Each structure stands twice: as structure tokens, then as C-alpha cells.
Amino acid sequence: MPGPMHGFGRGYLTEEEKANRPKVTWPLLKRVFSWLAPYKFQMLLVIMAIFVSSVFSLMPSVLTGRIIDEGLIGRDLNALIRLILLSLAVTLGANLIGVFESYLNTWIAQHITFDMRNQMYRHLQEMSQRFFTTNNQGDIITRMTSDIDGVQRTITNTLTDILRNAITLIVAVTVMYRQNPILATVGILIIPLFTIPTRSAGRTRWSLTREAQAASDEINGILNETLSVSGQQLVKLFGKEKYEYDRYEAANRRMIDLNIKESMAGRWFRVVITTFSSIGPMLLYLVGGILMMKYDSDLTVGDITVLVALLGRMYGPVNQLLNIQVDWIRSMALFKRLFEYFDMPAEIRNADDAVVPAEESEGCVEFRHVDFSYNPERQILKNVTFNLESGRCIAIVGPSGSGKSTLINLIPRMYDVTGGEVLFDGTDVRKLDLAWLRQNIGIVSQETYLFNGTIRENLLYAKPDATEEEIIEACKKANIYDFVQKQELGLDCVVGNRGLKLSGGEKQRISIARVLLKDPALLIFDEATSSLDSISEAKIQEAIDPLIEARTSILIAHRLSTILHADEILVLKDGEIVERGVHEELVKKGGVYTELYETQFRQALDAVREAGTGYPEAYGPSDVY
């Protein structure tokens, strides 16, 4: 009798789940059902299919009574064959309808999750940079994958299980009462007899399983920590071998004790189930027999058999319905979590009356008393004011953490200012069409990101309709073409984890080629602080120089050679522009710039000199160094 086993696998709510049990409110339910709304018609068909298949699958139990009374006891071979065939036919029918129902069910669930995934992805695309820096990437991916898969399970299992079990129970109880009200009442009173022990035995076993799992996790933790290269080194250097061994042995012993207990609990669980589930039918036979023999001569052997069979069919649904509360709470918690994600507002949005300027962009940037902070506790930029005219170049220098990257992120609206304004081509960036604004800004960042595709695919990302000549031209300008030619597959070799490993310098040059294809009015170049050797640096320099000459640009510079290109240098310290001017003036001031020059630039310069590469003429007047 498989019935009582049903539902065991669902487990029980953990303490944490109980504490975080979501409040099921009407708006929440309405919102859950709004996802089902587009599939109303299909849902209706599913409900009908569940109803018919539940009724059909109970029919053989009812027919058994007639098989016994009319066929066997009545000795009517024709009726016997007819009833047997009918019983087989309804079983087949119930199963075929079941197949149809599963198909429809899966179809609906897949389509709902399809809608949900797409909508979530679109929503996430709209989220600002802040969202991605403050949320753990793992959490975001979990929302997109396993949480939405959970929704699918809710629809294919939880909702249909509730329906199927409820319908089966209602039909079974109705038939039982029609068959014999007294026996039906006895049958229903018996139900707690098997559900209560089954549930408590199940709970014990479940908590043991969880404890064993925790012990096994602990063992894995110890193994991972102590059997790694650095872990072992630590153990050896501190002479902790015995300590670690004892810790491991204790955890290991706890696990075997729990495993033995769990295994025995499983065995006892089966004993409880088989014992209690056989008591039910026996009681029905007893009461039925007494009724038949002493009080109610109409009651037949077939009737009693039907009641016993129907009772057997009720075990599963009763148990599942009792357990469904767990699924229900988990599902609601899941929906709530997803809806919370959906409800996060997009911080950076296109203004309703956003403008797309008619004339071509010149890439001019103006900062007017700009303040910015990531969070209220700490202001990052303070009263930053500067003006970058068309075709000119500004270099921003400053100690690490002074706010240089933050400053440039305000131009393409990765973040919005908290005070003052940023103007692009004379208009506040918040009033410009976001797509237009970003189209006109090209950033070569320190941490170059390439998608895991071919070099060509990465370049085409900037301009999908670029011709072969344009791509090659961009590669040549970015000083990466020689490298590409040396690759077996040329532009079609794969970058990233699956294929070619690129150095930081090569990646940055590919990203320069990518920006070249984009051909923006304003170029922002965030120079790498470290990790590049002087040859790579020189190659990048060679690529970037003509670019800067040709357009309006902002450079976050760490190297003197780059700085010397600029028409104006802004020195940023703790988010404030503390000095500004050209190299010759600044270096003589004896302030922050001079200090930076002495420590950073000079070393870099010496390194370039030693390597014998670089562009001495670019370093300006020789009296400077």
C-alpha cells in the first residue's frame, strides 16, 4: 500500500522557514494568479482533466464491488467479463487523460516561467550599476535560475496536487457515503489513526536526515580546510596535526552514529506505516461484518470491499494535503522573493521628456559643483567643477581612492549626481536620451571586459554592421592587428575561459579597437594602474595617442606620458579638485601633484627608460625630470 509514503520527501519547514513564513495576503495571491491569467483557458482544461482522471481512477475500486457481488457471488460470467473490461478501460482512460493533463500542465508552467524569466532579465538590465555592485552576483543568478525553476515546480506540482488530492478525496468520500453511511463514517474516523503516527515518525526521520547532512557538511569543511595546500602548510607550521585529527575523528564518529540512527528510523518508519495502514481495512472488515451479519442484511461483501479499497485510496491524498502546507508556504515565500526583485525600482531611467539632440555630438563635458556619494555616510565627490571643450583633453590624476573612476561614471549616468549637475554638449545628462548619451561616450576601462566569444564577435558588439575592412582598420589603429594575425584563426579565435588566454595589455587593446568601432564623440580612457609591462604599455600608448588627438577625451592617468598629452590636468584628492593646470606649472607647486610625480610617475618613467621603449619626446621638457 504505497499511500502513506506519499509526501514524505517534501520534508518539513525548518525553524528559519517558520520564522520567515510569508504573510499570504490577497494582493500577493492576486499577483501570483495574474501570472496564470494569460493561460486561463489551458488552466480550465487542466482542472477538467484532473477531475475526470480522478473520477476514472477511483472507478475500478467501485467496480470491484460489483465484480464480487454480480460477477463472482452472482456467478454471472458475462457480467464478470464486462465489468473487468470496463474496469481496465477506465484505468486506461484515467491514465491517458493523466498524460494529457501532464502535458498541458508542463506547457503552462514552462510558458509562465518563460514569461517570468524574460521579464526578470529585462528588469535586471534596467537596474543601475549600484544594484550590481551592492547585490551579490550569486544571489542575482539564483533569482534568475533556481527561484524561477521553483515557480515552475509550484505550478506543475503544488497547485495540481492540491486540486487532484482534493477532488479525489471529495469523490471518494461521496461514493463511500452513497455506498454505506455508517461504514463511511467509520472509515473517516480511522484516518487520523494512520496519519498522526506516520507524520510524527516522518518528522523524526527527517530531522535525523538533516542532522546527518549537517555532520557531513562539517566533515567536508574540515577536509577542504585542512587538506588544501595552504591549509596543510598552516597545520604543519603550527603543529596542529593531532588537533585536526581529533576534530576530524569526532565529526566522523558523529556522522556514523547519525547514519545508523537514521537508517533504523527509516526501518521503524516502514513498520509504523505498514502496521497502521493495515489496521484501517481490518477495522472496516470488522465493523462491516458486524453490520452485515447483525443489523443490515442489504450490505454486501462487494460493498465492504469497495469501502476498504476507497479507504486505501484516501491515504495518499490525505497525507499529501497535510504536507502541502509546507509546499504552499515555500512557494509563497518564493513568489514573494521574486516579486521583491521585480519591485526594485530602476534608479537610472530615461526622463519622460528626454531629448535626442539634432546635431552631432561634440563630446563636451561640464561639471558644475558636482557632489556625489554612494551612500549617505560618506561623500565621495565634493564640489567638482570643470569644463571640457570640444576636441580638448583633460587628464585626471590623484591618489588611489580619490574618486577618479567615480567621476567618469557620472558622465554616462552609471550613477546620478547627488548635487550639482553634469552637462554633456551643454545639456544636463539627466535630460538627455540615455541611449543617445551612451552611444556618444566610449570608455576604455581598467578592467577590460570581453565576452566569451571570438575577437570578431567582441568587436562587432560595438558596431554590428562593421565591415571586415573597418574591423581590420580598428585593430590596426589599436595596435592589436599583428597579434590577431599571429593567431591560427585570426579574428575568429575565441577569447576568454574556453580559448585563448589574453594578457591584460592585449585585452585592453582589443577594447580600444572596440571603442574605435563605436567611434564616440567623447573618449574616456581609464589607464591601468599596474600589471602591464613597459612593452605592453608602450603599445597601448601608441594606440591611444592618435585617438586622443582626434577627439574630446578624458584620461584617468597614471603615467606621465599620458598626462603630458592633456590640455589641462585636474588633481583630485579625497573627492575634491585640489590643483589644476598644466604639468610644468603643477610640478613646481610642491603640492599633491608634485608628490604624485615624485612617487608614481617618476618610477614609471624610469621603468620605461630602462626597458628602452617609450617615447622620450612625449615626456616633455627635459628639465622636468
Query: Which residues of the chain form contacts with ligand ATP (CB under 6 A)?
Result: 133, 374, 380, 398, 400-406, 529
The Cα–Cα gap between 134 and 132 comes to 6
Phi/psi for 395 (5° steps) reads: -105, 135
207 vs 445, beta carbon nearer ligand ATP: 445
Q: Which is nearer to ligand ATP, 306 or 414 (CB)?
A: 414
- Compute the least distance from the CB of residue 505 to ligand ATP, in Å: 18
Which one, 181 or 401, has the nearer CB to ligand ATP? 401
Considering the complex, state which of residue 133 and residue 200 has its C-beta at the smaller distance from ligand ATP.
Answer: 133
CA nearest to 153, candidates 120, 105, 116: 105
- Name which of 127 and 173 has its Cβ closer to ligand ATP: 127
In the complex, minimum distance from the CB of residue 240 to ligand ATP, in angstroms, rounded to a whole number:
36
Measured CA distances, 136 to 142, 478, 496 (Å):
10, 34, 22
Instruction: Give the nearest distance from C-beta 393 to ligand ATP in angstroms.
Output: 18
Q: Helices 468-477 and 504-518 meet at what angle, rounded to 10?
A: 130
**Smallest separation (angstroms) from ligand ATP to the CB of 521:** 23
Q: Whose Cβ is closer to ligand ATP: residue 135's or residue 390's?
A: 135
Backbone φ and ψ for 330, nearest 5 degrees, come out as: -60, -40
Q: How far apart are CA 155 and CA 32, in angstroms?
A: 10
Alpha carbon 152 to chain centroid, angstroms: 15
Residue 402 Cβ vs ligand ATP, minimum distance, rounded to whole Å: 4
Minimum distance of ligand ATP from residue 157's CB (angstroms): 40
Query: How far is Cα of residue 86 from the mean position of the Cα atoms in its chain?
Result: 51
Taking the least distance from each CB to ligand ATP, the nearer of 91 and 405 is 405
Burial class (CB in 10 A: 0-12, 13-18, 19+), 512: buried
CA distances (Å), 155 to each of 128, 293, 331, in order? Answer: 32, 49, 9
CB 411 within 8 A of CB 524: yes
Buried b (16+ CB within 10 A) or exposed e, 556-579: bbbbbbbbbbbebbbbbbebebeb
Q: Cβ 19 to ligand ATP, closest distance in Å?
A: 31
Name, in order, each residue with C-beta under 8 angstroms of 231's C-beta and a sequence gap of 6 or more.
224, 225
Q: Cβ of residue 403: shortest distance to ligand ATP, in angstroms?
A: 4
Q: How many alpha carbons fall within 13 Å on the CB side of residue 132?
A: 11
Q: How far is the CB of 444 from ligand ATP (least distance, A)?
A: 14
Please give the distance of CA 422 from its chain centroid, rounded to a whole number.
34
Q: Which of residues 204 and 373 has its CB atom nearest to ligand ATP in the complex? A: 373
> Pseudo-torsion of CA 161, 162, 165, 168, nearest 10°?
-120
Closest contact distance (angstroms) between CB of 357 and ligand ATP is 28
Helix (H, G, I), strand (E, B) or coil at 522: strand
Of 386, 395, 433, 391, residue with least CA distance to 412: 433
